[in-house]
Amino acid sequence: MRVRNLTIGLLTGMTLMTGHSEASPLDDLRWKNRVLVVVAPAGDAAAEQQRKIYQASAAGMSERAIVLREAVGDGDPARQIRSRLSADGQRFQVFLIGKDGHTALSSDKPLSADHLFAKVDAMPMRRDEMRRAR
């Protein structure tokens, strides 16, 4: 009975997971990278500020496997990302997505590199990465 219930639960979960008709452009990055996602209307000043923070800290971002993706405009990839994050794109939002695909952090203001690095460095997977690098 327990095995049957477990099997039914696993099959139901797999069906729900594969039932998404629109794959997010973020899916290819899962288990490879952490993703800093900027959602904003075109020309948003906060989005530009977040972009500059990312670029100015490129070495630290690379060390932590953080890649930048933007969901700006009306193209399919931007819409898919906004849908995945339940963001409307009418205002600035930034999300840090962990390698496991879950949202680790979100804000309506640009995030400093120090804040991002502290958050990532506290993640169990990152701590394991640092331990293995020694």
Burial bucket for residue 95 (CB in 10 Å: 0-12, 13-18, 19+): buried
For residue 94, the cross-strand partners are 38, 107
Residue with tokens 């948003």: 44
The domains of the chain are located at 25-133
Query: Residue 83's pLDDT band (boundaries 50, 70, 90)?
Result: very high
User: Beta-carbon neighbour count of residue 112 at 10 Å?
Assistant: 12
CATH superfamily of the domain spanning 25-133:
Glutaredoxin (3.40.30.10)
Q: What is the pTM of this model?
A: 0.81
pLDDT digits (tens, 9 = 90+) for 5-15: 544 554 444 44
The residue among 24, 112, 101, 119 whose CA lies nearest residue 64 is 119
Between helix 113-121 and helix 45-56 the angle, nearest 10°, is: 60
pLDDT digits (tens, 9 = 90+) for 35-68: 999 999 999 999 999 999 999 999 999 999 999 9
Cα separations (Å) of 11 from 3, 21, 100? 12, 18, 21
pLDDT digits (tens, 9 = 90+) for 107-126: 999 999 999 999 999 999 99
**Cα 63 versus chain centre, distance:** 16
% the chain with pLDDT above 90: 78
